[in-house]
Amino acid sequence: MSENIAVVGSGAFGTALAAVIALAGRSAVTLVGRDPSLIADLKAERLHDAVLPGILLPDTLEFSAEADAVVGASIVLFAMPSQAQADAARQYGPYLSKDAVVVTCAKGIERTTGNLLTDMLERELPDHPIAVLSGPGFAADIAKGLPTAMAIAAADMETAERLAQAISGRTFRLYASNDRIGVQLGGALKNVLAIACGIVEGCGIGDSARAALIARGLAEMSRFVVAKGGQADTVRGLSGLGDLVLTATSHQSRNLRFGIALGRGDKTDPLHGALVEGAFAASVASRLAAELKVSMPITDAVSAIIDGRLDIAEAIEQLMTRPITTE
């Protein structure tokens, strides 16, 4: 079935998604951005060198800087950062067609409320089905056509499967799920754990420590997901384990690089103002875990280190001297 798809957000991930869906050739695709001069450049040059250098964008991809570009779209992907999604819902909501499905592509938790992004979007856009796309996929890999698999979750499997069919392509494969809670929390919490793995690397305390962090971090994620009403199995899939392994081991990851800088004790901003979703998610997740009485010692430690309440040596000491438990 041919769909009319709008991707809102002309950063690296939104541009990559729009390009890979357009390349599949099954649907009309429009990339919608806020900056008219950037959109004009993209339309003229078919390149977005600021975020995806040297990658040619498909001729079939349309561009617009107008909010009404989403009119008539059957699927609308929100590919802006997590903390900008509520504003986007208010800006584009009035232009959404009656049956449009909205898909959040951000990995985070709403900072002010602690809500999942699907909950927030359901509050802002009560007349539209809300889905989430998440998993191990760097924008550059997707845009280059390197094989990538991610998860897409909706409230019902029928919608999730429709979205997976519509968005998947020759090099981009989506797996359908009905566990929106698990898919979202996997995406948000793995960023926090990637910062922890970066701290381990920056401190130079060894690959064994990183492996332990990944395994015990996954256990934390499982406990939290189940407490929030999600499925433990989801954590072992693409949006949990898959995304955690990618983000915790690849230097393309901003969260890992941020952690490395913390581990080295760098005082200047290592990412020159680039967004680090895990830094926002750490304190929110730590607070929510305390409210739910879920033990998340690694997340708590990352939150305290970022906030300046705990130094790294002390955090390692605390984690290693916790009471011995079963796995």
Does the annotation mark 190 as catalytic? Answer: yes
**Residues 132/153, Cβ–Cβ less than 8 Å:** yes
Pick the catalytic residue from 190, 228, 267, 293.
190
Fold of the 4-178 domain: Rossmann fold (3.40.50)
pLDDT at 268: 66
**Residue 324: both structure tokens together:** 């011995």
Distance CA 296, CA 294 (A): 6
- In tens digits, the chain (327 residues) has pLDDT values of 689 999 999 999 999 999 999 999 999 999 999 999 999 999 999 999 999 999 999 999 999 999 999 999 999 999 999 889 999 999 999 999 999 999 999 998 888 888 999 999 999 999 999 999 999 999 999 999 999 999 999 999 999 999 999 999 999 999 999 999 999 999 999 999 999 999 999 999 999 999 999 999 999 999 999 999 999 999 999 999 999 999 999 999 999 999 999 999 987 666 666 678 888 899 999 999 999 999 999 999 999 999 999 999 999 999 999 998 888
**Residues 187/280, Cβ–Cβ less than 8 Å:** no
pLDDT at 84: 93
* 274 φ, ψ (degrees, to nearest 5): -65, 145
Residue 4, classed as helix, strand or coil, is: strand
pLDDT at 272: 64
User: Regarding beta strands 75-78 and 4-8, do their DSSP bridges make them parallel or antiparallel, or are they unpaired?
Assistant: parallel
Query: Long-range contacts made by residues 228-235, C-beta under 8 angstroms, separation at least 24?
Result: 228/116, 228/181, 228/185, 228/288, 228/292, 229/181, 230/179, 230/181, 230/182, 230/185, 231/179, 231/181, 231/182, 232/182, 233/182, 234/151, 234/177, 234/179, 234/182, 234/183, 234/186, 235/182, 235/186
Distance CA 38, CA 35 (A): 5
Phi-psi region of 326 (alpha: psi -120 to 50; beta: other; left: phi over 0): beta
Q: Residue 207: count other Cβ atoms within 10 Å of its Cβ.
A: 9
Residues forming CATH 3.40.50.720 domain(s) in the chain: 4-178
Distance CA 14, CA 5 (A): 12
pTM of the model: 0.93
User: How many degrees, rounded to 5, is the angle at CA 189 between CA 183 and CA 190?
Assistant: 90
C-alpha closest to that of 295 among 219, 215, 201, 192: 219
What is the Cα Rg of the chain in Å? 19
Distance CA 78, CA 82 (A): 9
The distance in angstroms from the start CA to the end CA of the chain is 47
Q: What type of residue sits at position 3?
A: E
Tell me the residue length of the chain: 327
CATH 1.10.1040.10 for domain 184-320 = yes
Distance CA 269, CA 253 (A): 16
